[in-house]
């Protein structure tokens, strides 16, 4: 099982309808966020950590909100970028201390 479920993503993004296209998009974004976590945190990232879940939802939200933007447009706020970087650093440090 992944870090987040489709239902959690729907709640987080306030999607109150369900159709095949939205399901495919959300499923793809969930997979993308999992690959992102593996790439940024490592293959054995702590999927049970609430910060990891929040980080996955932030990544999914950014990808969903900006899915129609093209070339060089940067809409993610600096505070969200800092939060993502802080979460990644904290989780990496936690993982090192467990080894």
- For 16-52, b where at least 16 C-beta lie within 10 A, e where not — what string? eeeeeeeeebbeebbeebbebbeebbeeebbeebeeb
With beta carbons less than 8 A apart as the criterion, state whether 60 and 28 touch.
Answer: no
| Domain layout of the chain by residue ranges | 6-98
Q: What is the Cα 32 distance to its own chain's centre?
A: 8
pLDDT by residue for the chain (99 residues), tens only, comes to 689 999 999 999 999 998 999 999 999 999 999 988 988 888 899 999 999 999 999 999 988 987 775 544 455 567 667 778 887 888 888 888 876
Look up residue 10 and give its two tokens.
């729907």
Residue of 39, 47, 52, 44 lying closest to 87 (CA atoms): 52
Mean pLDDT score of the chain, rounded to an integer? 85
58-81 tens-digit pLDDT? 999 988 987 775 544 455 567 667
């Amino acid at each position: 099982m992944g870090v987040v479920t489709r239902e959690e993503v729907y709640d987080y993004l306030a999607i109150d309808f369900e159709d095949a296209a939205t399901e495919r998009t959300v499923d793809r974004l969930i997979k993308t966020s999992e690959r992102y976590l593996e790439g940024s945190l490592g293959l054995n990232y702590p999927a049970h950590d609430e910060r990891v879940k929040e980080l996955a939802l932030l990544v999914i939200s950014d990808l969903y909100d900006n899915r129609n933007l093209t070339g060089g447009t940067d809409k993610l706020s600096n505070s969200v970028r800092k939060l993502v970087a802080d979460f990644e650093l904290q989780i990496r440090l936690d993982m090192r201390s467990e080894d």
